[in-house]
Amino acid sequence: MVLTGAGISAESGIRTFRDNDGLWEEHRIEDVATPQGWRANPALVWGFYQARRRQLNEVEPNPAHAALASLEEGLEHMLLITQNVDDLHERGGSKDVVHMHGQLVTLRCETSGRSEHRMDAADLTDEFLTCNCCAEPQRLRPDIVWFGEQPMFMQEIYAAVDACDVFIVIGSSGHVYPAADLVHIARAKGARTVLVNAEAPMNIGAFDEVHLGKAGELMPALVEAWLSESD
């Protein structure tokens, strides 16, 4: 099982949007990344995420994404859990990807809760969009897990953590829960825990094996070594 965080996307040029002072593009997190912010000022939140969606057309997968696709292809079973909301894993070749914090390429109907893939040019303007699932089209919202909302697919994720024999974390700070706690669960179940990260994260003590540096530089060789071990 592999868990990826913002670090792997940052190497492709995805802006984190979060500045050193904790602001997102000069906005408070409460204003642009919470259900309350959406209700209070949907135009602001919509414009913020539309900018992030447009940015997807400006970036490409990096060698770490390609290496993970090779790892998946070379193993009997691998599940890739990502905290990232971009589609770089899929574009890099990974097939079995679970987005626990939602996705930018999809939008969600506020009434039915259904998600739609909406990445045409007409879908990327700052005008609100409506769904295709309701008889009377309803407003769409970003298909993102905001602060205060429950991450997606947690039952599937916990089952995979319980069953895995190797748990690899790439590009994650160890700050965001429940993702940061998954390594502790995996280790308690006897899994070998591996970290690939630019710097030591908050939960570094939970890893049996640590590789510090850029994932794009480290992952190709690491994957080659791991696949050799599995043969």
Q: Which residues are catalytic?
A: 101
The DSSP bridge pattern shows strands 97-99 and 102-109 to be unpaired
Contact 141, 38 (CB under 8 A): yes
Q: Tell how far CA 6 is from the center of its chain.
A: 7
- State whether residue 112 is helix, strand or coil: coil
Contact 30, 37 (CB under 8 A): yes
Q: Rounded to an integer, what distance in angstroms lies between the CA atom of residue 187 and that of residue 175?
A: 18
- DSSP letter at 150? P
